[in-house]
Amino acid sequence: MRASEIALAAASVVAVCGVLELGLRAREWHEERGSLARAVAQPARLRPDGRADLGGIVRLAPERRRIYELIPNTRVVLNNWLGFPHTPLQLNAEGFRDVDHPKEKPPGVRRIVGIGDSYMFGWGVATGKDYLSQLEERLATVRPNERWEVLNMAVPGYNTAMEVETLIAHGLAYSPDVVVVGFCWNDTDLPNFVRAPPEYLSLRRSFLVDFVRGRLARADIVDAPRDPDGKLFESDAARVPPMYRDLVGWSAFEAALDQLAELARRHGFVVMFLVFEPDGVGGPIRDARRRRGLAEAQKRGFVLVDVGALQAEWMRRRKIPTFYKSTLTLTGIDPHPSVLSHWLASELLAQKLPR
């Protein structure tokens, strides 16, 4: 091969590497727009269409183990990243999807505090249609001689460890008689959008080299790389920076349940452990996590509220063949509970609620 051909081949390789480098930097820039690092650097903000993504209404929480929280007193239309429906959202003074409640419990009132993630939050359903809101309405009908207040402290993306921290930071101040924990299959994992801000303009770093090397983790806030199978949540503590390893995995989940059981004993409240989705519909990994979550809750004497079993019975009676494309989910591609599933959850909670 002549020297000119070698030079031309080398130039072609350099050009291709340059294009790949620019492409990878552009991808990092696009992904970084949804990261927690970027989200907490500025106040609540809207998309060009007037809606807000979840990343646009979060900020760093004062407590390390909560990581982030929703910005209080937000009024916005929340964008559903899987498409319609988009949801009008009003947050109270503590950043929860609820009205404000006085800290001091009125005489004769019994309180329920809910801690959970997007399922309890009511992702994609209108205000007042989440199962805790429907529960409060239901109790006024079926137990008219009692006075109940239901507080929803769920935050999308939270896992069980973060939820228990929320109870400590906010919920206990309201003197709950009952605490409802909403369990989801990813509640042993780190939220997927919590990651470090990429230095996509820095010449000190090659994104192409990082990609070839497997893009090893960095951590300013936290870097949560996806599992090799493409999961959106990180469950392996070994791949999470040390600052957050105590929030990830089954050991963190079990420790959080132990802590919750001790809080229940100390403060005198009942714990109800609520799970959506029928067993056998989510695939081996999700189903195994669902069963283990229920088993761990049962070990600690929590009241089990298996909404999934009720959903399965609903499907059987109506001969519904596919759960994820049924009226029990938000849309055909969004598995969050529909208003119907939230109603079923409120009915089952009302039945199982201690007297």
Handedness of CA 264, 270, 276, 281 (dihedral sign): positive
The model's confidence at residue 222, banded by pLDDT at 50, 70 and 90, is very low
**Maximum CA pair distance of the chain?**
95
Could you tell me how far CA 340 lies from the centroid of its own chain?
Answer: 20
> Taking the chain, what is the end-to-end CA distance rounded to the nearest angstrom?
88
**pLDDT value for 138:** 96
The model's confidence at residue 244, banded by pLDDT at 50, 70 and 90, is confident
**pLDDT value for 273:** 98
Amino acid letter at 20?
Answer: L
Pairwise pLDDT comparison (163 vs 234), residue with the higher score: 163
**pLDDT value for 102:** 96
- Residue 36 and residue 172: Cα distance in Å, rounded? 27
Region 109-120 average pLDDT? 97
Residue reference for tokens 């081949």? 9
- Residue 197 and residue 33: Cα distance in Å, rounded? 9
309-320 pLDDT, tens digit each: 999 999 999 999
Instruction: Specify whether the CB–CB gap between 55 and 39 falls below 8 A.
Output: yes
Question: Chain-wide mean pLDDT for the chain?
Answer: 82
**Cis before 85? omega within 30:** yes
Q: Is 46 helix (H, G, I), strand (E, B) or coil?
A: coil
- Residue 186 and residue 12: Cα distance in Å, rounded? 45
The model's confidence at residue 307, banded by pLDDT at 50, 70 and 90, is very high
- Residue 335 and residue 328: Cα distance in Å, rounded? 9
**Cβ burial 142-171 (10 Å sphere, 16+ → b, else e):** eeeeeebbbbbbbbbbbbbbbbbbbbbbbb
Six-digit token pair at 295?
A: 């088993």
The answer for 268, left when phi > 0, alpha when psi is -120 to 50, beta otherwise, is left
17-54 pLDDT, tens digit each: 555 555 644 555 444 444 555 555 555 677 777 788 88
Q: Is 174 helix (H, G, I), strand (E, B) or coil?
A: helix
Region 166-181 average pLDDT? 98
The model's confidence at residue 180, banded by pLDDT at 50, 70 and 90, is very high
Region 117-138 average pLDDT? 96
- Residue 53 and residue 45: Cα distance in Å, rounded? 9
Other beta carbons within 10 angstroms of residue 182's beta carbon come to 28
Helix (H) / strand (E) element for 118: namely: helix 118-121
Instruction: Specify whether the CB–CB gap between 86 and 80 falls below 8 A.
Output: yes
Q: What angle do CA 158, 164, 169 make, to 5 degrees?
A: 100
Q: What are phi and psi of 51, to 5 degrees?
A: -95, 175
